[in-house]
Chains A and B, each alone.
Chain A
């Protein structure tokens, strides 16, 4: 199985800040990586697929990069609605796996 490790586990930031979350795969997964946002009591929402392709309707302040084993999710200017938990997920091979999540909190 491909283990996915996110960092940090939690981060405090202010509206307007730039935030970067990293995700590392134990082995190379090319660009088979997705990012999700989850708010309390809600199902996850797909933000990015193919490591860097923005899902339709997702604001352009979200961006993704990376390939192989190292990936990043960047939010360029935090908005109040962005405070949530973020997960990466590898889709290179079954079984797919998620990172442990990064909780983005208001400072």
Chain B
């Protein structure tokens, strides 16, 4: 069974850091690009970051550029999101998602999400 399981969320003060992880199983992880998508309470989906299968292509939303860093470890089938200088507006449910493959860009498998709350 193809599965993505996020972890690392929690309550953190503004300005602090948090690292999210996503454990992948049931597919050949290093064949696919991977993404982070977030959803603030009661709001729509916001694409946060993406990384190609070989980590050579990486992108960020303007709202997190310079503060968040995406990475992957293909040997461990894991995706990570290092979040620094967190802001109240980063409060959201963070989803890990797998790229469809061909064509690239659509997300066909999603985790259940991990909640990040930024508050003093």
Contact = CB atoms under 8 A, between A and B. Distances in A.
Contacts of B120: none
Contacts, number: 74
A97 interface: yes
A91 B33 CA distance: 12
Nearest to A98: B45
B60 interface: yes
A102 to B, nearest CB: 10
B45 A101 contact: yes
Nearest to B45: A98
Nearest to A43: B110
Interface residues of B, number: 25
A39 B113 CA distance: 14
Nearest to A49: B106
Given A50-B103, A95-B60, A43 B50 contact: no
A98 B44 contact: yes
Contact of B45 (A38, A46, A50, A90): A38
Contact of B112 (A43, A87, A96): A43
Given A43-B110, A46-B107, A49-B106, A95 B95 contact: no
Interface in B88-120: 95, 100, 103-108, 110-113
Interface of A: 1, 32, 34, 36, 38, 43-46, 49-50, 55, 85, 87, 89-92, 94-101
